[in-house]
Amino acid sequence: MGVGAVIDGDRGGRDRDGRTRAYLRLSHMGLQFALTIGVAAGAGWWLDRRWDWGGLLTLAGVLAGFGVALFNLHREVYGGRG
């Protein structure tokens, strides 16, 4: 049985509790978390260089990216509940 069969829901008796499915659903979250912060920090750094704000926009970008990344993590894990 190939990966396509598992994704389509035909698990062939394996993974009855859904752990593998949950793992696959959440496996991208670390990379998404890091990329979100990195892109926001990069945008802040670029704006800092353009407007010469002395690093404040880079810090704002990191904090904003962290907030967005946490929001995405919460939404993915809890599915909008709570």
Residue 5 CA to residue 18 CA, distance in Å, equals 15
Mean pLDDT on 23-35 = 86
Model confidence at 1: pLDDT above 50: no
Q: Please indicate, yes or no, whether the overall pTM of this predicted structure exceeds 0.85.
A: no
Which one is predicted more confidently, 77 or 47?
Answer: 47
Model confidence at 56: pLDDT above 90: yes
Lowest mean pLDDT among 18-22, 47-51, 56-60: 18-22
DSSP letters for 37-57: HHHHHHHHHHHHHHHT-TTHH
Domain segments of the chain as ranges: 3-78
> What's the confidence (pLDDT) of residue 22?
74
